Structure 1
Amino acid sequence: MALFAGLSTCLGAALVLIWGRPGRRSFSFFLGLAAGVMLAVVLLDLIPAALTYGSLLQAILGFAAGLLLMTALDLIFSPENRACVHDYRYLKMGYLIAAGIAMHDLPEGLAIAAGFGEPAHLGPLLALAIALHNIPEGMATAAPLAAGGLSPGHVLALNGLVSLVTPFGCWLGLLLIKASPAFLSSLLALAAGAMAYIVKAKLLPECLRLHPPMAYLGLFGGIVLVFFLNLFF
């Protein structure tokens, strides 16, 4: 079930590839949708869970670590080092989104493992909710990569690698099911910090530059989607 939840990332990427290279309006919507999903997941899921499983200090330190990690990745993939590559900023954005989603998927896998613990019936619901979360995340990863000129095969391969993080996290969670809750708290906060950086530094500026109305529509749609997933699951 964790593998199914992870592979839904590939489904989102495939939808983008079937539709072809996105135009300005659709690309802005996809990025806004990703920003809304990530922002809502950070505020409604990751930060509250991190505070539940650990202390405020642990959550703050984990959040700061996520910000610093993504800042370092951003500097490594700096477009100044690849100025000769057309639309490299989109490739960098896609890689950063993939990295943030992978970090987010690891605690999701741990959550699925915990859901099959006590009470066990939460496991399938968590897997379904995470699968639905991952579809727009896969779309958000594929859209900038396709816009940057990456081939469809490479886009799917990258999303496939990201999708494997969820079952790996579930496997790890089964091994660490009785570990200290503080470990899970730090990991959840780390993912929150990474995703917050991506939303603030990458997704929102770019989607608002391309087409503000579609960006706001996507942002609102992403927030509403996660809100209803949390409401029903």
Structure 2
Amino acid sequence: MFTILPSLLAGMATAFGCLIALAAGTPGRRALAALLGGAAGVMLAVVLLDLLPAALRAGSPLEVGMGTLSGIGLLWLLDRALASRPLTAPLNRRTAYRRLGYLMAAGIALHDLPEGIAIAGAYAAGGALGPLLALSIALHNIPEGIATAAPLRMGGLKRRQILLINIIVSLFTPLGTLLGLFLIQLSPRHLSLILALAAGGMTYLIKDELLPAAQDQNPLFCWLGVLCGYALLWLAGFLK
């Protein structure tokens, strides 16, 4: 329960982002760039300062290297599979927006599953790694909720329908945590692999999703967000 609760809260950040979009509309380009960049900075600090060192303590460098590359490859394959689905534009523009929103929701749900597994591994490793990783994932999920709600709203869905879709997506994070806990209980040797997979998956998200999306909004505020996010986690680790 101690592990599931922060995982659930991190997942529900997607629904929180959806509520922001429904109540106040999409944030300005600078605010969105800073938020995405901050999430990237927090994730980068978690990967370099916590995930990889914890994985190396739990396993050999070869295991960590293979796990990290596997995490990157897994997320790359997932993105390619989703991107390969044809998104033909129908005559009805609302239908096009609605389909785009559904595809984005499906992609985010599939991304949230390995994130939940990563939270399980982080809490199993002990220390402050679990809460830090849950925080970074929550920050990452807020703009995802905003991004999902916008096309669904433009597609004509009712607010309660959009919120329900995002709540369902949010549940994939604790679902992944349950799966991760099962794997760790099955064999403690899975801990190093799970942590390394998480590090690889987070690295892919930073490089191919968060940073490009943030720079597209505003490059300056993107890198300010990255620096602030990384410094925040570095300071937290220095003081603990």
Q: Is the 8 A contact 1:25 1:210 kept in 2?
A: yes
CA RMSD of aligned residues (A): 3.0
Range moving further from structure 2, 163-172 or 56-65: 163-172
Structure 2: unaligned runs, 5 residues or longer: 90-95, 154-161
Deviation of the 1:100 alpha carbon:
4.1
1:191 partner amino acid = A
Q: Is the 8 A contact 1:29 1:214 kept in 2?
A: yes
Range moving further from structure 2, 185-194 or 13-22: 13-22
Q: Deviations over 1:88-144 (max 9, x none)?
A: 8887666555544431331422443454xxxxxx5xx66544543443133143132
Aligned to 1:137: 140
* Distance across 2 between alignment mates of 1:102 and 1:15: 18
* Distance across 1 between alignment mates of 2:39 and 2:112: 10
* Distance across 2 between alignment mates of 1:203 and 1:87: 23
Deviation of the 1:224 alpha carbon:
2.8
Deviation of the 1:64 alpha carbon:
1.3
Report the TM-score, using the length of structure 1 for normalisation: 0.78
Question: 1:104-123, aligned counterparts within 5 Å?
Answer: 104-113=115-124, 115=126
Deviation of the 1:170 alpha carbon:
3.4
- Identity, in percent, stands at 30
The verdict on how the C-alpha distance between 1:191 and 1:127 changes in structure 2, with shifts beyond 3 A counting, is: closer
Question: 1:18-57, aligned counterparts within 5 Å?
Answer: 18-20=19-21, 21-23=25-27, 24-57=29-62
Q: Is the 8 A contact 2:17 2:145 kept in 1?
A: yes
Tell whether 2:232 aligns with 1:225: yes
Tell whether 2:173 aligns with 1:169: no
* Distance across 1 between alignment mates of 2:221 and 2:98: 21
* Distance across 1 between alignment mates of 2:210 and 2:101: 10
**Secondary structure, in 3 states, of the residue corresponding to 1:82?**
coil
* Greater C-alpha Rg: 2
* Distance across 1 between alignment mates of 2:39 and 2:108: 9
1:207 partner amino acid = A
Question: 1:1-233, aligned counterparts within 5 Å?
Answer: 1-20=2-21, 21-23=25-27, 24-78=29-83, 81-84=86-89, 85-86=96-97, 96=107, 98-113=109-124, 115=126, 128-149=131-152, 151-173=162-184, 175-176=185-186, 179-181=187-189, 183-233=190-240
Q: Is the 8 A contact 1:50 1:184 kept in 2?
A: yes
Deviation of the 1:79 alpha carbon:
6.2
